[in-house]
A and B are shown apart, each in its own frame.
Chain A
Amino acid sequence: NAGVTQTPKFQVLKTGQSMTLQCAQDMNHNSMYWYRQDPGMGLRLIYYSASEGTTDKGEVPNGYNVSRLNKREFSLRLESAAPSQTSVYFCASSEQTGTGAGGYTFGSGTRLTVV
């Protein structure tokens, strides 16, 4: 039982390049989330998916797109990377949306640097 698996763990991109961050969970959770973590700013919500087939914008969605491929997988895409997207990205999942039941389980994070 791996929990939430994120790939890659580290990535360096040049400005304008694109990439997809992958996230998969094996806990049969309905809801999945993408956050970014910057020093002194906590974790900010980029996008979330309350259930398979739905996605919604969070606090900082500009420059990102997401795909909920199936119940297990939720990917985050940067179409044209910018230095402002340098951050640590965390994927998370939870059993239910809106109730916090069971809390979030986080992946190990992706450290992304855009030069």
Chain B
Amino acid sequence: SQTIHQWPATLVQPVGSPLSLECTVEGTSNPNLYWYRQAAGRGLQLLFYSVGIGQISSEVPQNLSASRPQDRQFILSSKKLLLSDSGFYLCAWSSQTSSYNEQFFGPGTRLTVL
């Protein structure tokens, strides 16, 4: 069965510091991968998605970036964090061989920028 991991689970960082969040998927090959942010209060915002190694599409311009160095690894980064980057970051995957796009979410990373 497929599993998705994220780390760290929680993170407190000062403004202006760098960021690296990691997501890995097990039990599947060539998944679509996604990064979402959920601000306090609720909605999910799609930040990045990837259909393959080195292929990243950005949904929202911001000071975040994403990379996919390996088939099942997705990394979210920032060079300098802003207060507004605080939130709950969720990684998700979906199968490229499925006829529909059901997405499965990781446990999330809760980021607080002080």
Whether chain B is bound by chain A comes out as: no
